[in-house]
Every structure is written in structure tokens, then in C-alpha cells.
Chains A and B, each alone.
Chain A
């Protein structure tokens, strides 16, 4: 049964007709062509499909698109400001925060959301927050380093 929904994704408005069982991750990838968001575990554990829904991170692989009707969504494609990467994106590049890249969009969305809620987290707070994003390549040290540097950078530019 199709349902018409309205989504604002990365600042652009979309009116879509989707089947009720359409998952948000599929809606983003296949209906809107935003393939930056990945699907991996499909059960809300691994974090690869993490996107911001009204400013909060959610697992788009267990979210129904119809339940997101009227929401504002930000995906990895919406982070860069014009041609400048978001500081967290830049930091992941500068500090080797990824290898194969499948988990990276989710890692970056989760890290961005941490900094939105808590601009000066302790290392334990970073680990606690990032616990829902799995990476099978880096061993996590590089991810932690990338986030720590992004925080330091943000603090430096604020001063």
C-alpha cells in the first residue's frame, strides 16, 4: 500500500510515494539516489546506515520511511558546506579514520552528532557514543584519533 510522504533531505524538499514497508535506508538510496548511506547488518546494530533525523542519529535500516513523514534528514551527502568538507570529514581523511569506507558515512554522522550534543567530550564519552558504529578495518584507534582531532580543531577555531 503506497503512501505519500514529505521529506526534507539535506535541505531539499521531496514529495514521494512509497510502499508502507519501504525502509528509510532504501528510500534514501534507491528513491533519492543518495547512496552514501550504507546498509550492512540490517538489524540496527552496526551503525553503517546512521543518518540524522530531526537532528538525532537513527538507524535507517530499521526505520520505516512512512514513519519519517515530515522529518528533516541529513545524510553524509549533506555535511559538506559548498565545497568545503565538514571538519569531521576532513579529520577522518587527515588522520586515516577509514580503510574500506563502508562504515565511514555512519561513523562520521555519529561523530558529528556527538559534537552537536557534547562539543567537549572525554575519551570515554567518545567511546561510549561511538560504540554503536562498528568498523572491521581500522581497529578503532584511527577513528578515535580523527574525532579527537576534529574536537581540538573546533575548539581552536572557536578561540
Chain B
């Protein structure tokens, strides 16, 4: 499932870039993320609690930063996670771009291509898409609060 979300962060591009380098802090801006810790170079592991409709998942997984290009103001990452108990999981690639809006505002563009498996997949794409929208909205609010 491909999604694209955009939001404006209340800081200049340099400040937003610096925040992006701090993965544990960025990770915790996702609603439901419990902990994020470094697991090798540019690799992080963490847990996330997500509820989609009747299904409540505790996802354990890793996120690997696959690219950081400050010239392009672009970071790419790969996430993989699974819930062992219910049998469901996600894998996906994300591209984050920072666009200069003004001295005090930066647009964050998050493009993701995520696959859902198991119980999550059974719920169907329309509802997952709605959930992804609400997660990203909350993420945007939390990011804005970091400045």
C-alpha cells in the first residue's frame, strides 16, 4: 500500500534535519511506539502498539536507515515488524523529504510503501489507509511539539 503524507513542522530545515538524525526521539513521535533503541549502526529496534478496529497488535521490529542524503534533504528507511502472538506484521520502505517553506517552517513529506500481513492484512486496505492517516496526523503533531 502506497501512501503520501505531508505536514509542516514549525522549524527551519536544518533543525528538522537534526531531529531526524535522532531516531529514538523521532520514533517515539509515532503514537503507540513504546521504546526505540540502537541496534548496531543505523539500525534500531523497538516495539509499537497499534489497534486497528478489533485487532490489537504489539509489533516488535527493526528500522534500518538505508540512506541519509543531506544534499537532497532526503532520508530513506526500511521497517520490518511482526506480532508473534496474533500472527501479523508489516514490512515497508519509507522516504522522507524536507522542503523549505520559510525560515521557520519546513514541509515534511513522508512517502511509504508498506505491506501488511496476517490479521492486519485481513482487515482490508481501506481501513488500514484510514488508520495510517490518523497515525501520521498524530506523528505530525508530535513532531511539531519537539520545537
* A contacts B: CB pair < 8 Å: no
Measured CB to CB, the residues of B under 8 A from A are: none
